[in-house]
Each structure stands twice: as structure tokens, then as C-alpha cells.
Structure 1
Amino acid sequence: MTLVERMQTKYTITAILSALLVPRSTYYRWRSEATDSSLTDVERTIIDICESTKYRYGHRKVRALLQRDYNIKRNRNTVQRIMQKYHLQCRIKPKKKWQSQGETIIIAPDRIKRDFQAAAPNQKWVTDITYIQYGRTVQYLSTIIDLYNNEIVAAKLYNHQQTPLVLDTLKEALEKRAHPKGVIIHSDQGSVYTSYAYQSYVMENNLVSSMSRRGNCWDNAVIESFHSNLKSEAFIYTRFNSLSNVETISRVNQYLKYYNEERIQEKLGYLPPIHFGGR
């Protein structure tokens, strides 16, 4: 017990007891026995309640049990003070918060504002991730489209949707387009796009980050439409998880090639992307 008290200035009671492999109930029984003469009946009862409930309750519930089971009435501040004195606080469940997978969250303004037209190549790129659920396992497709001619500049299909997926997609796009400067790269506010790693890479390559408003798919409608078309056209009448992963990847790659080289678009004067204008 002396060791615990000495280490208390640096560590919590729970951490110390866990390291020493000593149950909390055992520690408090030792402590109670060592100071039993100084414990009041209320303090001893509160310690018993906390031990029997495995320290799951806060002071309000302990106060209610004190009154219900022992007919002892005390205000909640008194109960709280006693529980704090003997380190009997319940284990608080941490609140879940939305956060990025990177080291920090960087949110860019919406610089596209639903203007999905571009006067020349490499002015505006849009990007997003979609689920491909037709193989034995779920795959994740990351795509970048040039709004000048709706060409798929780069696409990566991985078995995860972590930051490397979007980084590798952007690296491929930059290599294919000979590292253009000043391109607006527009995404949603997903954790991979707001991550420090992704945003740093955008700035290091002289790109301009832009983001949709949260929960508003229309702010990135072009790429949302493309992903919808891919699923409805490449996987028509296909049930989820009905194909092999190899067949799924093959269909995606075939559709990407077809979309760029053959699929005509009204916006492009009924031409496919690569036959519209120069790059």
C-alpha cells in the first residue's frame, strides 16, 4: 500500500494496480482494514457498494443505492467527495468523436461550388472513394477525374480505404499529367482527405485543396455519377459477393478503359473523354 501511495503522484490507481496485478477490491480491502478505525459507517458502506458493483457506478447511482438498500440519506456532493477520497470513481466510457486518420484535421473551403466546367485540362480535378462489393471481399476504388473532359486521370483499387489509397491515386495522376501546378483537387471531407499526410502532399506538389460540405453529395456530383454508372453498367444484374476478386478487378479495369476511350458523353459533344480536346 505504501508503494501505491508513493506512485500515485505520477500514475492513476487503476494503472498502478494493473501493473502490480492487484485487484482493486483487494487494494481497497487492505486500505479499509488499515484505516478501519477511522472509517465512518457511511464511508465503509459506500466502499462496499462500489466493490459489489465493480466500480461501474458514478456518485448519483451510489447515492441511490445507499438510500434504497441501507436507508442512509446523503446528498450527492457528500457521496462524490467520499468516492473521490477513496478513488472509487466509475470507469468513464470515452466519447466517440469523428476524427481523421491522419495526425490532424485540415478542412479546405469549397472552391468548386458546383461549377463542374473547366476551360482547359488540369484546372479542376475531382476525387472520391467508392465501395466495390461484388467480389469475395470488399474492395475500395479511389478515382480522380479531370473536369475538362471527364477523363479518369488515375484510379486505384485496394482492399482498404486508408490514406495510402488516396495518396497513391494522386501520385499516379500527377505522374500521368507531368506534375501540373495549381490544379484544384476537390474531394469530400472524409478522414483520408482531411488527414495531415494527404493535405501535406497536396501543398508540397503545388495543388489547391477544395472540399464539399459535409453530407452533401451534390457538391461532388460528377464523380458520384461516375461511380454510380460503373456499378450499374459494369456489374449489371450482379449480386454482391458473387464474383471472385480477380473477376471483380478485371471488370473495374475494363470499365475504366471503356469509359475513357469509348463511352460517349453529351457534355463532350457525344465524344469519349480522350477524344475531346487536347491535354
Structure 2
Amino acid sequence: MQRAKYAPEFKDEAVKQVIDKGHSVVDVAKRLGIAEGVLYTWVSKFKKADEPSTNDLKVLQAEMAKLKAELRRTTEERDILKKGRRVLCKAVRVKYAFIQAHRSEFKLTSMCRVLKVHRSGYYAWLHEPLSARARANEVLTAKIKEFYDQSMGIYGSPRIFCDLREAGVACSENRVARLMRVAQIKSVRGYKRPRYKVGKPSLVAPNQLQRQFQHDEPDQAWVTDITYIRTHEGWLYLAAVLDLHSRAVVGWSMGPRMQTSLVLDALTMAVWRRRPKDSVIIHSDQGSQFGSDEFNRWCKDNRLSPSMSRRGNCWDNAVAESFFSNLKSEQIKKRIYQTRAEAKSDIFDYIEGFYNRVRRHKHLDQLSPYEFERQRQTAL
């Protein structure tokens, strides 16, 4: 008996009836008129052909492992970027410090790849974390803090730069300013500038100064004013006399009452110290102490020529106002002293121990008042 031949398409469709549609082999064979054994053979061959070979399985497994490794790498890079986004644009040594801090969390090679640094550089950094420049900056910052403390916290970068230059330290002013910013060192200032007020001319004495605050010679013009300092015992009043040539405080007096005698005591100290040979302009505001007959007689007897600002105009006596502002912002700093004696001692130390002898003035080419006078006398 000759064996029946079937087309490949017929075989495929018969197998699909069993595999895809779920009919039994007996039903499909009976319906199509073929032997059950033949259909079993077709189905068996189809299943074997559909199963992957050993080589194909190995390829799939390798591809799967590769994809998993790629996913782990991408996930790790994502986590590194999330934690290290702030150091991406920083210096290399900052990145090395980040790597060292996260060694237990991420792979070294992954962090170096993401942060774009070399492992060899990281290992070199482990042996020497600070560069020569960084070590020099640490030494310079210590010097800056030393001079800052000596100035009682009132010097900014220009004056500290002058101190460093005099001490023989080679650096630039910009570098000093940058290191002070990094170390959060800044001058202490606690008061706002006074507001401008329109004033009236004085009727007691003319304004001889006319805001001419620069004088080439000492003892040509002095300015004077009174301020008050808060203590728990009550107000302490300070009268000061400044020479416009060097901004030095040539006379001062402190007392519990704001009287004419307070001003005269400060002027007496100034005259005794300076012993001016010619007449000196003494400029003040229109306070009652400066407009009294006693004050004018004293000035006439001691060859002082009174000059007065406009009423309520602080700019006409700006040098004296500036000194009091510096005193309060640099030394007093909104403090309330326990006693007047404590306040006197602290203010004396500021005027005689710091302001006249040490404090640098921008107006005097960053020299102290006494040093400025000494150099001018030496030049002459």
C-alpha cells in the first residue's frame, strides 16, 4: 500500500489545530481523515523544532547576563550622579574627597568614570590630600585670622593686606579677600549711616571749614563733637577733638553730664598736647555747649577760631561723626557697660591704644594717624 503524501501547509495547519486551538489529536485526525500516529509524529516534530537548541540557550543566557550587568552599571551611575551632582564642576581634589567618602557604597572604577577622574590621581591624593597651594592658603588664612583678631574684628581685606605686606608676607589683596570669604571672616559693622537732614546756618559762628576736611599741615583745623555711651549706671558722655591733618584724636574727655566743661576739658588736653603756634579753626555743631559764652571766651584766650555746622546737618562735621561711628561699631558694638568706669577704660584703650597708634585709615594710605604724622615729619 502506497504511503499518502501531504503538503507542508497541510501539516502546519493540522498541527495548529492541536497546538494553537487545543483540539485533541484523535478529533483532528478523525476530522481530517489521517492516521492518529501520523498526526502525533507531526506534532512531536513541531514541538522539537520550536524548542531552542543548546547553543541558542547559551546565547540567550549570555545576552541576559549582559543586560543585567548593564542595568546594574546604569543604576550605580545614576546613584553616583544623584549624590555627587554638587562636585561635578568642582576641583579634582574635591571629587577625590567625595570618592573617599563613598568608597563603601560605590565601586571605585564607577565613581572615577562618572566624575571623570583617574584612579592613579586618586591614589596619589590619598598619600598627599593637600596641594602645595592649599597648604600655603592654610598658612595664609592663619595669618589673616591673627591680624583680624589684633584689629578686634574690624579690619577688612584692604587693611589686613597692608598688615601682611608689612609683615613680609607675599600675597595679593584679591587672594586675601577670597580667603576671608572662604573662612567667613568679615569686619564687624553694627550701625547704619545717618540720614541726611536739611539744616540752617549758624548765627553764633560762621562755617569757616566749609567741608574742607583735608589739610596739609597739622593743627590748622580741629573738629569736635559729643556722643553718649549707654551704661547700667546711666549715660556716659564723650567729647573728642580730632586733627583734620591726620585724623588723630588729640583731645578727649568723658563724664556723666553733657556740660560745657566736658568740651573744655577735651580742648585743654588738645592744646596741652599739640601746643599750636598759630590760630586753629575749631569746628563743631550747634550744640549749646559750643555756643555758650564760656566756650567762646576760652577759645579766644587760647587762639582757637570757632566754626559751626548747619543745624541738623551731620555732613558738615563728618569727620567727628565718622570717628564716633567707628568707635560704636568697632569697639562698643551695641554693648551696655555695667559701670561708667568700665566704659571709660574700654574707650580709653580704643582711642589711645588702638585708634591713634594702630588702626589703619583709608584716607591716610592705610597708615595709623601717629604713623602718618611721623612719616610726614621725617619727609620734611
1:107-126 paired onto structure 2 within 5 Å: 107-126=204-223
SS in 2 for 1:133: strand
Query: What is the Cα deviation at residue 246 of structure 1?
Result: 2.2
- Of 199, 205, 209 in structure 1, the residue corresponding to residue 302 of structure 2 is 205
Query: What is the Cα deviation at residue 205 of structure 1?
Result: 1.4
Contact 2:219 2:276 in 1 (8 A): no
1:261–1:191 Cα change, 3 Å: same
The match for 1:245 is 340
Runs of 4+ residues deviating >3 angstroms: none
The match for 1:194 is 291
The match for 1:12 is none
- Of 314, 318, 326 in structure 2, the residue corresponding to residue 229 of structure 1 is 326
How many aligned residue pairs are there? 173
Query: What is the Cα deviation at residue 206 of structure 1?
Result: 1.5
Contact 2:328 2:334 in 1 (8 A): no
Q: Supply the distance in 2 between the matched residues of 1:217 and 1:237 (Cα, whole angstroms).
A: 21
Query: What is the Cα deviation at residue 135 of structure 1?
Result: 4.4
Q: CA RMSD of the aligned region, Å?
A: 1.6
1:137–1:111 Cα change, 3 Å: same
- Of 253, 266, 272 in structure 1, the residue corresponding to residue 362 of structure 2 is 266
Give TM-score, length-normalised by structure 1.
0.59
Q: Which runs of 5+ in 1 are unaligned?
A: 1-104
The match for 1:60 is none
For the pair 1:169 / 2:269, whether they are aligned, the reply is no
Greater C-alpha radius of gyration: 2
Query: What is the Cα deviation at residue 204 of structure 1?
Result: 1.4
The match for 1:129 is 226
1:8-87 paired onto structure 2 within 5 Å: none
The match for 1:88 is none
Contact 1:167 1:198 in 2 (8 A): yes
1:243–1:180 Cα change, 3 Å: farther
Contact 1:135 1:247 in 2 (8 A): no
The match for 1:141 is 238
Q: Supply the distance in 1 between the matched residues of 2:316 and 2:259 (Cα, whole angstroms).
A: 22
Q: Which runs of 5+ in 2 are unaligned?
A: 1-201
Instruction: Return the letter of the residue paired with 1:111.
Output: Q
Work out the percentage of aligned pairs sharing the same amino acid. Answer: 42
Give TM-score, length-normalised by structure 2.
0.44
